[in-house]
Amino acid sequence: MSKERKTRIPRKITPKALESAALAYLQRYATSAANLRAVLMRRVHRAARFHDTDPEQSTELVDELISRYRRAGLLDDVAYAELRVSSLHRRGISRRGIQARLAAKGVAADDIDRALAQLQDEHEDSEFEAACNYARRRRIGPWRATLRSERRDRDLAALSRQGYGYELACRVIDAEDIETLEL
């Protein structure tokens, strides 16, 4: 009793269709200009394959739309980078992890560096705070209720995989209790 999946027929690419798709995406997600371009170009290529048209014709429409949204202030990579840096820091993502995620979204390296510098200005030891946030979220180190000494290596490995250095990971995992970590 398997259901066949219906494939949706993509709409033909018109300036109005692209604009409505872009606005719908911007209403749901904060994004960078490069990421919005990638989302719209996937739509363009899918429609071009289905309707047998040339995707290069729509590329100009996408570029014009992106530049218009930048001028209007709907797309601001600096503000997006600051927002994401703050959000990822609260989730416990390391500085390297933040850089990688923002670079994958197409944010320029200088915008990433500017947002990370602002984070460093706001938080005295942002990397340590992020590591504590990650440990709290994953319930490792002093947040682990039982079997703490047996799971030490596993907890250190979890922090290492997130991009934290060995000394910082040991500082968090080997803390006596939660109160010694809180700033």
Are 105 and 135 contained in the same domain? Answer: no
Is residue 47 within 8 Å of residue 59, measured between CB atoms? no
Asked if pLDDT for residue 183 goes beyond 70, the answer is no
How many structural domains comprise the chain? 3
Are 144 and 158 contained in the same domain? Answer: yes
Across all residues in the chain, what is the average pLDDT?
87
Are 21 and 64 contained in the same domain? Answer: yes
- Look at residue 2 in the predicted model and tell me its pLDDT: 57
Asked if pLDDT for residue 14 goes beyond 90, the answer is no
Q: How far apart are CA 112 and CA 95, in angstroms?
A: 10
1 within a domain of the structure (yes/no):
no
Quick check: helix, strand or coil at residue 52? Answer: coil
Chain segment 20-34, per-residue pLDDT in tens: 999 999 999 999 999
pLDDT category of residue 78 using cuts at 50, 70 and 90: very high
Chain segment 87-134, per-residue pLDDT in tens: 999 899 999 999 999 999 999 999 999 999 999 888 888 889 999 999
User: Which structural domain, as residue segments, surrounds residue 117?
Assistant: 77-122
Are 112 and 132 contained in the same domain? Answer: no
Are 27 and 62 contained in the same domain? Answer: yes
Chain segment 3-12, per-residue pLDDT in tens: 677 778 778 8
81 within a domain of the structure (yes/no):
yes
Are 148 and 160 contained in the same domain? Answer: yes
- Look at residue 180 in the predicted model and tell me its pLDDT: 76
9 within a domain of the structure (yes/no):
no
DSSP string, 69-114: HHHHTS--HHHHHHHHHHHHHHHT--HHHHHHHHHHTT--HHHHHH
